[in-house]
Chains A and B, each alone.
Chain A
Amino acid sequence: MAAESPPLLSLVEEFVSGLQDSKAKDAATGVRDGRFTVLQLVEALGQSLTSSQPHTRARGVQLLSDVLQENHTALTEREVELLLAFYENRLKDHYVITPPVLRGLQALTKSRLLPPGSAVSMLRSLFQDVHVQSLMLAERACVYNMLINLMDSREDELKGLGADFVFGFVQSMDGERDPRNLLLAFQIAKNIVVRGYNMGKFTEELFEVTSCYFPIDFSPPPNDPHGITKEELIQALRAVLTGSPTFAEFLLPLIIEKLDSDVQSAKLDSLQTLAACVGQYEHKDLAEFLEGLWTSLRREVFQTSSEKIESAALAALTALTSCLSRSILNSDSEDSLSTFLDLLLRDCKHHLFEPDLKLVWPSAKLLQAACSASYRASHIITAAVMPPLVEQYNSKTQCSHRRTLLEVVQRFIQSTAGCQSSDHDENLFSAHKDSLCSVVFSALSESNSSLQITATSVLTSLAQQAGVLSDADIELAVDHLTRLLLTDEDERVSLAVVECAGALAEQHPAAFIAKLIPTLKEEMFSDQREASELHSHHAVRQRCLAALAAVSVRAGVVRESTPVLLDVLSSAHADPSRFSADEAAHACLSLQRIAERAQDDEETGRCFHDVVIPRLLSLALQAALQKTSPGSGSPLVEEAVLSAMVPVISTACSRLHATFAEQTASRAVSLFLDGDVSFLPDNSFPSHIRPLQKQKQQEEEEEDWWRQSQLVCLLMACVCSLPRSVEVPQEERLLSELEELSCSCSHPLSYTSAAKCFAGLLNKKPQGVSLDSLIQRTVKRLGSELDRPSSPMRTQAFTLLIWVAKALLLRYHPLFSTLTDKLFSLLDDADLGPAAADGFSLLMSDSADVLNRGCHADVRIMYRQRFFSENSAKLVQGFNAAPQEKKPNYLKALSNIVNKLPKQVQVSELPALLSLLLEALTCPDEGVQLSTLSCLEPVLINPPQVLIQQLEALVTRLLALICSPAMKIRIASIRCILAVSHFPAHEVLPFRARVLRALAPPLDDRKRLVRREAVQARGEWFLLGSPGGR
């Protein structure tokens, strides 16, 4: 022991007299490691603690406090008690000693062994001897932290202090200015309010001392290291003010006062605080302020200047109303909800009946906000508003008035959607149902299209309210919708009708099965009309097809509607003059929509598996085998129709359950490899169908072979979209035939589809030797094909190369890099160079029908970034090394890649590429210019610093493109110029005059679209740096 004393003594000596702060740490470590005890430390400090020099005493206390900060857990209860007594006494000492004393006390408050009663005595001496606001920032924080620690550990004792504690705290924080300390002080105040401390007569004082910061106006200094935001302060203060109903009598007048402010953020904060506080209040807290609050809220909505404030005011009104609705009524008190709603109705109701004046919508919004608060509120309001609205509708004659009234009605129905609960048997609108239905049906029979559209949305809202519409109403509605579908020419009306039909069919499928579908079928298959009606008949059919897709939400409807759509296809095949290829493609589109909607619905999946897929395959095969004279072929061999069939099959297949999926795979493969047609309906096919193989004996039919070979796209749809767990039978054979087809066929759709199908299978094939050798074999074959410039099949080989590359890129396959090298070398190729540059866009974008996540392809996250980061350097290198005439290929490839990168990556990668992109803007190739502009435009919205440094170069190049002969480039460059105007004002202001001058000629451009962009951009540049502008 004696041996260890000297180092302790010398430590103390060096800290106190030598002023070496680092010794405190050594002392703390010494205590923690048990080299000496706190007692020994105090003994060693004896000299300094009793010194007559206040500064020496302060140093002594500081060392002790520093040690305690680190070691407060190791103290015994007796030690804590003694130290507390010491520190409390020291608070009365010279002011220079106070800071270290406070630090010591703070350390002690963290100790779990604080003896009972000590918290009270500590606080008493603290409040008595220290004037907190004359302390420095850090010491004030120390006091607040002490209070927080004690509130957490000694809540009962502090509550025993009663109102004295609140008073002490109020005095301590009165006048606090630092945001860091305010956050602590607000936390204490919130604890006082929320945890039920007795505030006694100091309630108002506590409110005053906190509410004087309301509304918070704080903008953190730039590069603020503490990271305190205005929002944090607002939330902390709001938690205090809204914490207790006892503040209501002070807070509500304050809110009313602050709502009069002209500062937008003050208004917003007040409204949000109002919405938050009424959650705790009862009606008696609100009663005397209701009128004032309503006046302020009404003003904010009636004379609103910003949508944010309007919606905050509406939210506050909803909160207020729901607070009033919650309150339990006494027999002697008046019903404050109905009083309040009377006030609302008095001020707003009459505005509803002036549908062409401005206040109709603000009034409707206010009433609807109140409606959405509770069932009772909406009951009172709808009872008061609905009958006169209907009456007004019937008395007005102008369509625009009627439409506005109807829209108001619709919003009322919508606003109550949230508060219709199941325990109220009666729906709010049941009482008004008959009059509403008659209004809706009369509006549907009008000739005004916007009235009809509004009526459909009212109908949709009514249908979504459970139990309002009866079966008879639904039938009538279906009749109206059917009539509109068949007769109304307006596109917007039919769109609204189709949407409404879809919503109704979800609730009431029976009426649609019984009425709508048969009627539509009859109409579509009705005989050919006069030539003059041909066009309109085509439009009717399109609407019918769209409606069939929209109503097929339930499995029951799907079973009825899909056969109709398939009948359209088969009659198009049987008699090309009845349905055009366009109509056939639309039928496929409708089937696709149905397949997309039917998620995880087994019934629908079965319907597609059993009926739709086999019939589609069968029809396509029949069309392919048909021997026809040129010009009158079945539309089903046309590329547009086949491409529309592909998504139907692939969407359906991707959602099949495992057993169905396996069955589909094996059926499709055996059909295409072996000509097994047994599962197809209408089985009258010849036995030698081999769509994938060119047959020698059919030399004379060479020209017609494409009809069969292009069916490979349907094979792709079947096998490439199945879940990865499903095994494709005879995969090796299938792959080799696909490879053969894609390398030898000359029909574009056939070889492209074969390449896609090959890639789709490759992407899902399990990792292993067989996959590697397959890839190597294919790459070798493609390489030798591509290396012969005279080969006629180079395009085909290139197509397969790109798709294989994409399949491997998506799954991060290691062999991908050999393919990239090949692609880069092709950029220098005389024939394939431009195609290779375009190929990069294909690599980076999602493909619609294969190799996407919807098809269960193996797509790793961030494959684009990975590709970019691995290859951008190579691209830049290649660009620098390339001969002049090949450079555009590189620039095009680069802009294709950068275009598809996510925004964040674009911004972070831009510095390295900017000079290249700026170079690309001066490249004479218009395609390069356009794609560079389109990849610059999104980056300009949030410009990175490096771009701002290059502003001169950027603006010069953009302004040069304004005079480009190509309209699209003129438009794109002016848009970029517009985006530049939103850069930090001090950076772009120097360019203002120059840009304004350059934008004058395009105001007189020969194209209206260019003029429109120029007007917009020039307007923004005029506002830049001008008063009231930006």
Chain B
Amino acid sequence: MSGGLQLENANPVIFQRSGERLLTSSEEDGDVHDPIDDREIFDLIRSINDPEHPLSLEELNVVEQVRVQVNDTESTVSIEFTPTIPHCSMATLIGLSIKVKLLRSLPDRFKIDVHITPGTHASEEAVNKQLADKERVAAALENSSLLEVVNQCLSSRTI
């Protein structure tokens, strides 16, 4: 293939997208309280774009609903994501995108924990440490070229 950058993983496995969440009658009733649940968190992050492909993290199976844990009463969220290949250089960027998306979309009472699914990446520990460090995340977002890539991952796809 001439021209353009060679992709790290040009032909990844594609997974099916789950449909829209079905609307229940209790959700339409203004008086009922709907707690924040796993599916809701998953819906927030499943449509994040992959930095390399015009595909969502869900289609690449980077995020799965079973790897999302939320506790509404204790205000904690824990998310595991799985890079497509063990040497994926984008892992930190993907983790950062997930983290930023949640920071923007969840009430600030939540404590957000994003890490790599154990045993799926070569430098798992380093990436986890970076993502857990508040100050490094904040510093990364000061970097405008990094912020640009993150914002592109979070933009709704232009079709």
Could you list which residues of chain A lie within 8 angstroms of chain B, going by C-beta atoms? 259-260, 262, 295-296, 298-299, 302-307, 351, 354, 356-360, 400, 966-968, 1000, 1003-1004, 1006-1009, 1011-1012, 1015, 1018-1019, 1022-1023, 1026-1029
Contacts and interface: CB of A to CB of B under 8 A. Distances in A.
A358 B50 CA distance: 13
Interface string B139-159: 000001101111110110011
A357 B104 contact: no
A356 B14 contact: yes
Interface string B38-79: 001001100000000111000000000000000000000000
A1027 B144 contact: yes
B133 interface: no
Contacts of B134: none
Nearest to B153: A1028
B105 A1003 contact: yes
Contacts of B107: 1000, 1003-1004
B44 to A, nearest CB: 6
Contact of B145 (A303, A400, A1026, A1027): A1027
Nearest to B14: A358
B55 to A, nearest CB: 7
Contact of B148 (A400, A1019, A1027): A1027
A1003 B154 CA distance: 17
B159 A299 contact: no
B18 interface: no
B125 interface: no
Nearest to B147: A1027
A1007 B4 contact: no
A296 B1 CA distance: 8
A305 B27 contact: no
Contact of A1019 (B3, B105, B108, B145): B105
A742 B142 CA distance: 72
B106 interface: yes
B126 interface: no
A308 B96 CA distance: 30
Contacts of A259: 3
A361 to B, nearest CB: 8
B135 interface: no
A259 B3 CA distance: 9
A299 B4 contact: yes
A400 B40 contact: no
A1015 B155 contact: no
A1014 to B, nearest CB: 8
Contact of B158 (A306, A351, A1022): A306
Contacts of B138: none
Interface in B95-114: 101, 104-109
Contact of B104 (A967, A1011, A1022, A1027): A1022
B2 A299 contact: yes
A180 B132 CA distance: 59
A299 B13 contact: no
Given A1000-B108, A1007-B34, A1008-B34, A400 B147 contact: no
Nearest to B23: A1009
Across the A-B interface, the 10 shortest Cβ-Cβ residue pairs: A1028-B148, A1028-B151, A260-B3, A1004-B107, A967-B30, A1027-B148, A1008-B34, A1015-B105, A1006-B33, A1029-B151
A966 B155 contact: no
Nearest to B19: A492
Given A259-B3, A1011-B40, A1004 B109 contact: yes
B142 to A, nearest CB: 11
B154 A1019 contact: yes
Nearest to B1: A299
B17 to A, nearest CB: 12
Interface string B8-44: 0011111110000001000110101110100010011
12 contacts: A260-B3, A299-B4, A303-B7, A354-B11, A356-B15, A1011-B40, A1018-B105, A1019-B104, A1022-B104, A1023-B154, A1027-B145, A1028-B148
B159 A307 contact: yes
A1027 B23 CA distance: 35
B44 A351 contact: no
A1012 B44 CA distance: 9
Contacts of B3: 259-260, 296, 299
Contact of A1008 (B27, B148, B149, B152): B27
Contacts of B148: 1027-1028
Nearest to B107: A1004
Nearest to A362: B11
Nearest to A999: B104
A260 B12 CA distance: 23
Contacts of A1004: 107, 109
Contacts of A305: 54
Contact of A358 (B1, B13, B30): B13
Given A260-B2, A299-B3, A1028-B148, A357 B12 contact: yes
Contacts of A354: 11
Contacts of B15: 356
Contacts of B147: 1026-1028
Nearest to B149: A1028
A356 B34 contact: no
B113 to A, nearest CB: 18
Nearest to A1001: B107
Nearest to A305: B54
A304 B157 CA distance: 13
Given A1004-B107, A1018-B104, A1027-B144, A400 B16 contact: yes
Given A303-B4, A1008-B36, A1019-B104, 11 more contacts: A260-B3, A260-B4, A303-B1, A351-B11, A1006-B32, A1009-B27, A1011-B36, A1012-B43, A1022-B154, A1026-B147, A1028-B155
B110 to A, nearest CB: 9
A303 B1 CA distance: 10
B23 to A, nearest CB: 8
A1000 B11 CA distance: 40
A259 B2 CA distance: 10
B137 to A, nearest CB: 15
Nearest to A1002: B107
A789 B92 CA distance: 75
A354 B13 CA distance: 9
Contact of A1028 (B23, B34, B152): B152
A951 B142 CA distance: 30
Contacts of B1: 295, 298-299, 302-303
A1006 B34 contact: yes
Nearest to A304: B54
Contacts of A1023: 151, 154-155
A1007 B30 contact: yes
B11 to A, nearest CB: 5
Given A303-B7, A358-B53, A1029 B105 contact: no
Contacts of B145: 1027
Contacts of B14: 356-358, 360
A303 B109 CA distance: 41
Nearest to B72: A1004
A702 to B, nearest CB: 40
B27 A358 contact: no
Contacts of B11: 351, 354, 357-359
A744 to B, nearest CB: 40
B62 to A, nearest CB: 13
A356 B16 CA distance: 9
Given A358-B12, A1007-B34, A1026 B159 contact: no
A1009 B28 contact: yes
A304 B2 CA distance: 14
Contacts of B150: 1028
A434 to B, nearest CB: 30
Contacts of B149: 1028
B39 to A, nearest CB: 10
Contacts of B44: 1015
B27 A1007 contact: yes
A568 to B, nearest CB: 29
B104 A356 contact: no
